[in-house]
């Protein structure tokens, strides 16, 4: 499932992501669902993709009491869990695409095992200023009458794969977000809530060998995706899917910024992203 709300860029990324899911579904009886406020963008994939149009009222409700945009992905997941209470569900961010068959990923999801994109760092020891501020804020708060436990790994939540036996954890994650997000609105809140409660209740497995997440290179991949989608206009869907399988978009890897360049950029533009891992 995908969530696409807001800008046209997000919708275009989600469209390409959905193409990639269809291209790499292999033998799975896979159903692709998109929750969006711009359903017209996804018309090229009807009827192969289920499109759920979101109203402004639903979007406001999903942002919760903290008016927190990253809460929407967990609310969307909870909605999917209610609709498909007996199915394994994978949520993928819009800025992702599949590079291998999804059976590899879904095979890692069962009653005792779950999937996130990849492990990034230890929350207690990661030395950046952003994480120091996160720890300071969390140390001042409580959830359900207890101090917030920071003794866990941070995982990238660009993919969240759940078994039905784990669906109840979504309500706990939403409750955590609703306590913290009115006071601290960084993306780390959602990311940590998902990572923490999945780690404490299951064995978490990475899926970065199956799903590529280009969050640090959105502008470069956006341009490549726009070109690819333009090339597919007027072509049969199966031709586009075959092209995607045979010719995946591959750009030079991201080179993390360091030192004063990163600090100056974050100070000027802000940084709602989790730090890159390596």
Residue 255: the pLDDT is 83
Residue 270 pLDDT > 80, yes or no?
no
pLDDT tens for residues 237-268? Answer: 999 999 999 999 999 998 876 554 444 444 44
pLDDT tens for residues 104-135? Answer: 999 999 999 999 999 999 999 999 999 999 99
* Paired residues of 92 in beta bridges: 159
Structure tokens at 26: 């292999």
Residue 167 pLDDT > 50, yes or no?
yes
- The residue behind tokens 């199956």 is 210
pLDDT tens for residues 183-220? Answer: 999 999 999 999 999 999 999 999 999 999 999 999 99
DSSP SS3 for 94: coil
Residue 273: the pLDDT is 40
- pTM (2 d.p.): 0.91
- The residue behind tokens 């360049």 is 261
Domains and CATH numbers, the chain: 2-269 (3.90.550.10)
pLDDT tens for residues 71-80? Answer: 999 999 999 9
Reported in sequence order, the residue ranges of the chain that DSSP labels E, i.e. its strands, are 2-4, 32-36, 49-53, 89-92, 96-98, 113-122, 142-143, 146-147, 153-162, 203-205, 211-213
pLDDT tens for residues 11-42? Answer: 999 999 999 999 999 999 999 999 999 999 99
Residue 268: the pLDDT is 40
* Paired residues of 238 in beta bridges: none
């Amino acid at each position: 499932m995908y969530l696409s709300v807001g800008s046209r860029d997000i919708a275009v990324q989600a469209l390409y992501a959905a193409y990639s899911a269809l291209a790499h579904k292999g033998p799975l009886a896979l159903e692709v669902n998109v929750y969006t406020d711009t359903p017209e963008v996804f018309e090229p994939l009807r009827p192969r993709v289920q499109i759920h149009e979101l109203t402004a009222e639903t979007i406001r409700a999903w942002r919760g009491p903290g008016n927190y945009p990253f809460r929407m992905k967990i609310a969307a997941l909870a909605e999917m869990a209610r609709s498909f209470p007996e199915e394994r569900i994978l949520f993928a961010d819009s800025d992702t695409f599949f590079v291998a068959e999804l059976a590899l990923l879904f095979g890692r999801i069962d009653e005792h095992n779950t999937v996130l994109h990849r492990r990034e760092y230890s929350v207690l020891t990661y030395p950046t200023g952003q994480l120091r501020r996160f720890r300071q804020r969390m140390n001042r708060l409580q959830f359900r009458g207890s101090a917030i436990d920071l003794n866990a790994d941070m995982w990238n939540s660009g993919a969240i794969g759940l078994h039905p036996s784990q669906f109840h954890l979504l309500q706990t994650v939403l409750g955590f977000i609703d306590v913290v997000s009115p006071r601290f609105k960084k993306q780390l809140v959602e990311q940590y809530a998902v990572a923490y409660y999945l780690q404490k209740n299951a064995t978490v497995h990475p899926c970065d060998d199956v799903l590529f997440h280009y969050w640090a290179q959105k502008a470069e991949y956006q341009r490549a995706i726009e070109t690819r989608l333009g090339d597919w206009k007027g072509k049969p869907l199966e031709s586009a899917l075959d092209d995607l399988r045979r010719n995946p978009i591959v750009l030079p890897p991201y080179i993390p910024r360091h030192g004063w360049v990163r600090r100056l950029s974050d100070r000027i533009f802000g940084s709602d992203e989790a730090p890159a891992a390596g």
